[in-house]
A and B are shown apart, each in its own frame.
Chain A
Amino acid sequence: MAFYDRMMQIDRRIIYLCMTLAVAIPLIVPIGMPVQVSDEARGFYDHIEDLEAGDIVLFSFDYEGDVMAELNPMSIAALRHLFRQGVRVVSVTMYAGGTGIAQDILEETAAEYGKEYGIDYVFLGYNPDWSGTILRLGESFKATYPADQFGKSTREIPLMQDVETYDDIALLVSIAGSALSEYWAIWAGGRYGVTVVSGNTAIQAILIYPYYNAGQIPGFLGGLKGAAEYERLVDIPGLGIKGMDAQSVAHLLMLSFIVIGNVGYFLSRRHERKLKEE
């Protein structure tokens, strides 16, 4: 096999091994890449920064363990920002696997800022019906969630006395690994007029641009880079900024393989043309 054919047919296992090293080494030996803040992340930040102490935010953990590496950093940073502002948080999740993640993050960040459950934040838990839940919340929070995640009646929770419908919500934050951010924007934002900002995986973030440009989602965080930008803005470095080095090296590695493959392709075509001429 000619060398240019080898360039076009590199064994997958070699690619996988190189990718493993490209991600692992920068995590162990950080490089310290600078992070520039985008307009989209700034929009997300500004909407939380403009909230006042005592305002109520609906925070939806719309993801499970599979994408938590990408979305946990932005959830943690956003909750820290909210608690620092003195904002009260009503939290839900649309995924069964999201309950444990939401509980852990809420408890940890609330403890950092001395927040009390039931007064400063509440976790209403999981509901399987996406469209029904989002629409029903517009009519009544307590009817949609008669009890919180721990079985306590929402009529007895102090924070829930100030929340009945979306009219009582100053902002809706959706951290999603799926199209749920779009559904919040369409159903909650479109029908009930609540402002929605979102944090999404890098793949999903690309789909948010039409909503961002139309003003339906005035700010969003895209992938781990979005999390890093937000950590830069709130000045609380976390896993987002740490992950940027690994992501940069991994992308450069992929580009290298693409270049190698294309060089091999052009060399093989040149060789074929020479053979034809002969």
Chain B
Amino acid sequence: MRSMKAVTSRPAAMYVPLSLLLFLIAFVLLCAQDVPASPARVRAADTPDDWGTCLRLTWSQAGPADQIETYEVWRYDGAAPALTIPTVAADSVDMLLKSLGWAVVDTVKITDTTFTDTGLDAGSDYTYIVAASFGATKLPSEPTVPVSPSKQYLRGATVNVLVAVAVFMALVVLLVEWARRGAKLFIRRIAGLEAVEEAVGRATEMGRPILYVPGLDPMDEVATVAAIDILGQVAKKAGEYETRLVCPNRDPIVMAVAQQVVRESYASVGKPHLYQDENVFYVTYSQFGYAAAVAAYMVRERPATNFFIGKFYAESLVLAETGNATGAIQIAGTDSDAQLPFFISACDYTLIGEELYAGAVYLSRRPLLLGALKAQDYAKIIILVAMVLGIIIPMLSPEFFETYRSLFG
């Protein structure tokens, strides 16, 4: 009979090495999870919307990031040959890569997993390696496939803008030509502009001047261009009635343009002698210094009619309230939405937004300008149709229908 001890100890003896082996595997696996690995999924791609001088690298963080210090980006000019790096010692990796023709491009923070390489030649091949660096260890990735940057002649992100500008320009050209050939183009009645004649007449009857404030912005602002346009028309009417027109300016270039416009307007109605430099003058560039000067003028001279046309800021209420207190008839026009409430509450007539741009067209009825104004209207219709379609089309999708059904049973 065999010893019981011998029978029972044989299975136990097998379990011990098995347990040790399992323990060793677990230990290795656990340790492996704490060790950083080479950056994975390193991809190089052409940077969009450039002149073929940039390539963009992306990669995935490999392993725990708290041990990695930096990423190094290496580049090979051309299609790199197959590469085997048998070591992870940083010095050895550096030496090996440099000897094979690779060069460091840049060192990147560990929080970044993208890099843009610049100063490249369009059409030339480039290969990249990204190496995770920590301590004396460097873990390079597999080389990317060779990529060459390509030129884009048109910025892809601006295609929709290009289409919109082209359509709009075509509309402007077509409608201007149509207007030039005598087509009757309708503009709705704008009360503020209809009142210009009445306002100028009032100043003439009372023997008091007209004050015209062309806004506070310089000449490159569209609202100022519109304001000077309207100034020309108002100056013509003032010239016809021989009423003094005063135009204080905040910007010296606007002043120069305003002087020229008023001079020409008086000349066009046969009254060039009415123009005087001191009626169209520069005040100060300081916003509230300008407001104070104009308000003081209104209180002293008590103009019968005030025009506030152009771009305004916080001083709008100071001007409008002061004018209101002097009893003047006031016509305002601005595309500054924040100032519209102040003008509406203190002025007799207010041109809102686009009505300002329509001002000169409305008063002069020049075919060229009328055509451009109508082009704006048609462009608005196109935008409205696009907006409505943009609302309706998603509503026809199965996902939207499902959501609607789940909400309302």
Q: Which residues of A contact B (CB under 8 A)?
A: 12, 64, 66-67, 96-97, 131, 177-179, 201, 203-204, 206-207
- Closest A residue to B313 by beta carbon equals A178
Residues on A with beta carbons closer than 8 Å to the beta carbon of B288: 66
Nearest CB in chain B: distance from A22 CB, A? 18
A66 and B313 CA atoms in complex are apart in Å by 12
Asked if B286 lies at the interface with its beta carbon under 8 angstroms from chain A, I say: yes
Asked if A66 and B338 sit within 8 Å, CB to CB, the answer is no
Residues on B with beta carbons closer than 8 Å to the beta carbon of A179: 336
Asked if B338 and A207 sit within 8 Å, CB to CB, the answer is yes
Contact A66 to B287, CB < 8 A, known contacts A131-B220, A178-B313, A203-B314: yes
Asked if A177 and B314 sit within 8 Å, CB to CB, the answer is yes
Pick the contact of A206: B286, B287, B313, B338 (CB < 8 A).
B338
Q: List residues 320-360 of chain B with CB under 8 A from any CB of chain A.
A: 325, 336-339
Q: Which residues of B contact A (CB under 8 A)?
A: 220, 285-288, 313-314, 325, 336-339
- Closest B residue to A65 by beta carbon equals B288
Nearest CB in chain A: distance from B259 CB, A? 22
A66 and B286 CA atoms in complex are apart in Å by 10
A131 and B220 CA atoms in complex are apart in Å by 10
Contact A66 to B314, CB < 8 A, known contacts A206-B338, A207-B338: yes
A131 and B221 CA atoms in complex are apart in Å by 11
23 contacts between A and B (CB under 8 A): A12-B325, A64-B286, A64-B287, A66-B287, A66-B288, A66-B314, A67-B314, A96-B285, A97-B286, A131-B220, A177-B313, A177-B314, A178-B313, A179-B336, A201-B314, A203-B314, A203-B338, A203-B339, A204-B338, A206-B337, A206-B338, A207-B337, A207-B338
Residues on B with beta carbons closer than 8 Å to the beta carbon of A131: 220
- Closest A residue to B220 by beta carbon equals A131
Nearest CB in chain B: distance from A169 CB, A? 16
A262 and B95 CA atoms in complex are apart in Å by 87
- Closest A residue to B337 by beta carbon equals A207
- Closest A residue to B288 by beta carbon equals A66
- Closest B residue to A95 by beta carbon equals B287
A177 and B338 CA atoms in complex are apart in Å by 12
A201 and B325 CA atoms in complex are apart in Å by 26
Nearest CB in chain A: distance from B181 CB, A? 37
- Closest A residue to B158 by beta carbon equals A191
Residues on A with beta carbons closer than 8 Å to the beta carbon of B220: 131
Nearest CB in chain B: distance from A202 CB, A? 10
Residues on A with beta carbons closer than 8 Å to the beta carbon of B336: 179
Q: Please give me the 9 A-B residue pairs with the lowest Cβ-Cβ distance, nearest first.
A: A203-B338, A66-B288, A207-B338, A178-B313, A207-B337, A204-B338, A206-B338, A66-B287, A203-B314
- Closest B residue to A205 by beta carbon equals B338
- Name 14 extra pairs, CB < 8 A, besides A66-B287, A203-B314, A207-B337: A64-B286, A66-B288, A67-B314, A97-B286, A131-B220, A177-B313, A177-B314, A178-B313, A201-B314, A203-B338, A203-B339, A204-B338, A206-B337, A206-B338
